[in-house]
Structure 1
């Protein structure tokens, strides 16, 4: 199987998706617990659990990106180990 994206794009996506999952999980947890810093002042959502649900949906999407991009990066690593020369 050949990779669809370049190695740089695949590894960049892996790193960005990894940090997005971590950061959004923390934010989702804070909204889910109705942390006063996020839900205690005017102009902020009153029901933090609804916001947390949206954030956790984004976490699932970024986790999917992480898996897909990690597989693309693995294909590049595997191709480089075999010494495959591509004339594309």
Structure 2
């Protein structure tokens, strides 16, 4: 199977997706617990659990990106070990 994206793009997307999942995970936990810094003001959302559910969906999308891009990066590693000429 040939990779669909370049090696640099695949690994960059993998790293960015991992950090995005980490940051959104922390925000999801804080909104789920109705942390006063996030839901305490007049301009802030009132229902932290609903915001946490939306952040959870974003985490699921980033997990799909992480899997796809990680597999693309592994395909590049596999292709490089077989002696393919990289142009």
Task: Specify the TM-score bucket, using the shorter chain as the normaliser.
Answer: over 0.9
- In structure 2, runs of 5+ residues without a counterpart are none
TM-score, length of structure 2 as denominator length: 0.96
Runs of 4+ in 1 over 2 A off after TM superposition: none
* Counterpart-to-counterpart distance in 2, 1:85 and 1:15: 26
* Counterpart-to-counterpart distance in 2, 1:57 and 1:86: 38
Name the counterpart of 2:20: 20
- 1:68 paired with 2:68, answer yes
- In structure 1, runs of 5+ residues without a counterpart are none
Equivalence map 1:1-88=2 (5 Å): 1-85=1-85
How big is the alpha-carbon RMSD for the aligned residues of Structure 1 and Structure 2?
A: 1.1
Number of residues paired by the alignment?
87
State the shift of 1:84 in Å: 1.3
